[in-house]
Structure 1
Amino acid sequence: MSDPFSQAEVEAALAETRERVSSFFAGLSSQQFTQGNAETWSPAHHLHHLTISNQPVAYALSLPRDRLPARDAAQPSRSYADIRAFYREVLTTGVKASGRFLPDPQGTQAELITHYRGSIDLLDHDLTAYWNDVDLDAFTLAHPVLGPLSVREMLLFTLYHNAHHLAGVQNRTQMENA
């Protein structure tokens, strides 16, 4: 995936992300999928975390514009690479998921994958149905750790967040299989 920016590129990246993440997690054995705990997350924990992280963004995209803080649209949104670098920098401070973003995976592997796919599908639907490229820069969403982001930046963060967790689980799985 190249660095998406436009609405069309974000929509394409969401579809690609849904398929990459779903395929990887579906390819794990049930033992691999559930191996872990609340301290050392299993792949199931990571997948559930992504699902419960994607859902509030989708919800926010469905809100009427008058419920969202306006932003100076003349101020450009940061790029995917800039958001990725910002998030990585914040991670070095030791910040971790907390509160409603802590996973508690319930259900089968197939059910968790279906819920994950649904969270991405809803995000894509709400982006396509309610937004245009200009408005992505005109409104702000609050990220619990990164602070206020333009809607575009939140979508770019969401894409990177999914890729970040996928890469972490892939690396851990490769190390365990080595």
Structure 2
Amino acid sequence: MSEPFTQAEIVAALGQTQEEVGAYFAGLAPGQFMHGNAETWSPAHHLHHLIVSNAPVGRALGLPRDRLPARIATQPSRSYPEMQALYRGALATGVKASGRFLPDPQGNQAELVAGYRQTLDALRVQVQGWNDADLDAYTLAHPALGLLSVREMLLFTLYHNAHHRVGVQNRTQMENA
């Protein structure tokens, strides 16, 4: 993926991510898709985690702006590579999903893939209603990364989706080797 930053680039990247991640998980063999448990997540667990992580971002962006905290800008919004580094740093400290972000995949592979695609459709629609200035003017709280500008949250979301796809791909390749 390139390094999206503008609203238009983020919308395009969300579409690309939806296609790539959705196609990858849809293309796994059903037994492989469900192979795992709460300790060693299956691809189904990873996909459900993305669903429950992406959906709140889309819902938040649909709220009236006056219900979101205004950002007191002490620095410009961070770039895609900076958000990657921030998230990798958090993971290195042992940060893990918890609470409502823990997966509990219900349904079959096709239903989970459809649910995943729907969350990114909804997110893309919401982002289209934002301009670049507002992406920097408002904040959303991330459970591990703290307050982020809306732009930073979207860049994190893009990376988070790619991170899980790559992780599942790597694990699947090792298991098949």
Same fold per TM (> 0.5)? yes
Give, as a single letter, the amino acid of the residue that structure 1 aligns with 2:75.
Q
Tell me what 1:123 maps to.
Answer: 123
Alignment of 1:1-178 (within 5 A): 1-72=1-72, 75-128=75-128, 130-178=129-177
Residue type of the alignment partner of 1:48: H
| In 2: Cα distance, 1:73 partner to 1:140 partner | 10
Distance 2:94 2:75 in 1: 30
Percent of pairs identical after alignment? Answer: 71
Deviation at 1:71? 1.1
Q: Which amino acid counterpart does residue 167 of structure 1 have in structure 2? A: V
SS in 2 for 1:112: helix
- Cα distance in structure 2, aligned partners of 1:157 and 1:95: 15
TM-score (normalizing by structure 2): 0.98
Q: Deviations over 1:18-64 (max 9, x none)?
A: 00001111110001000000000000000000000000000100011
Where structure 1 has 5 or more consecutive residues not aligned to the other structure, the ranges are none
Deviation at 1:91, TM superposition (A): 0.5
**Residues 110-147 of structure 1: CA distance to partner in whole angstroms, max 9, x if unpaired?**
0000000000000000111x211110000000000000
Please state whether the residue corresponding to 1:75 is helix, strand or coil: coil
Q: Does the residue aligned with 1:149 lie in a helix, a strand or coil?
A: strand
2:32 maps to a residue whose letter is Q
**C-alpha separation in 2, matches of 1:137 and 1:117:** 26
2:60 and 2:50 mapped to 1: Cα distance? Answer: 16
The alignment yields a C-alpha RMSD, in angstroms, of: 0.9
1:72 is matched by which residue type in structure 2?
I
Distance 2:66 2:126 in 1: 16
C-alpha displacement of 1:75 = 3.5
What is the letter of the counterpart of residue 109 of structure 1? Q
| Corresponding letter in the other structure for 1:28 | L
Structure 2: segments with no counterpart, 5+ residues: none
- Asked whether the equivalents of residues 73 and 134 of structure 1 are also in contact (C-alpha less than 8 Å), the reply is no
The one-letter code of the counterpart of 1:165 is H
